[in-house]
Homo-oligomer: A and B are copies of this chain.
Amino acid sequence: MKSLDRLIKCFRRLQGVGPRQAERFALHFLRAPESEVAEFTEALLKMRANVHYCPICFSYSEGGLCEICSDDTRDDGLLCVVEEPKDIEAIEKTGSYNGLYHVLHGSISPLDGRGADDLKIKELVERVQNSEREIREVIIATNPDTEGESTSLYIADVLRGLVGKITRIGYGMPLGGHIDYIDEMTLSHSLKGRTKI
């Protein structure tokens, strides 16, 4: 059954989808009412046509600037650098940040063939240099893994002298964690990052 196999192959390209799940997805669309298939393909093509990168922060946006960049109430002296657009959502949910964002679209990872030029780092430097308002602080919120760490160091390096303050998100114990279960690197960071009470 060539047509079915072809669709299954398409679903396999989605991250984390194995052969059985891909087959289930394909069969779902085989059995779905015609209206659902039409709605799905239309939603897919409309999304492709409408959603673009925000020209300032490179998050996703539906036409023009994204919601955050076009929001006058945000603090435009504060810039948080993240790897992916979905990281913005996570930070927004905390409700404890009111600055702007900059999306790198990945991290520096020589093993995966991703260098600094493949990320929106040049754009970040230009943005900081050409900003009308002085940027007081750049918070680097890349992931606390090997790639995120080197990306963070690289960015701190290229921004040095351009902004007043460059900070990195804090490491430590996750809330609800157990000291005897946490890995030693985290615990060591947690000790170093201790705060007065």
Contact status B61-A1, CB under 8 Å: yes
Residue numbers in B under 8 Å from A179 (CB-CB): none
Q: Which of B7, B36, B44, B47 contacts A47 (CB 8 A)?
A: B7
Count of interface residues, chain A, beta-carbon cutoff 8 Å: 42
Number of copies: 2
CB distance from A37 to the nearest CB of B (A): 6
* Chain A residues touching B, majority SS: helix
Given contacts A62-B3, A86-B23, contact A48 B44 (CB under 8 A): no
Bound form: Cα–Cα A177–B43 in Å: 47
Asked if A46 is at the interface of the complex by the 8 Å CB criterion, the answer is: yes
- Across the two chains, which residue of chain B brings its CB closest to A84? B27
CB contacts (< 8 Å) of A44 on chain B: these are 7, 10, 29, 37, 40-41
Chain A, residues 98-120, CB within 8 Å of chain B (1/0): the string is 00000000000000000000000
| Interface core residue of A6, A9, A50, A86 (most chain B CB under 10 Å) | A6
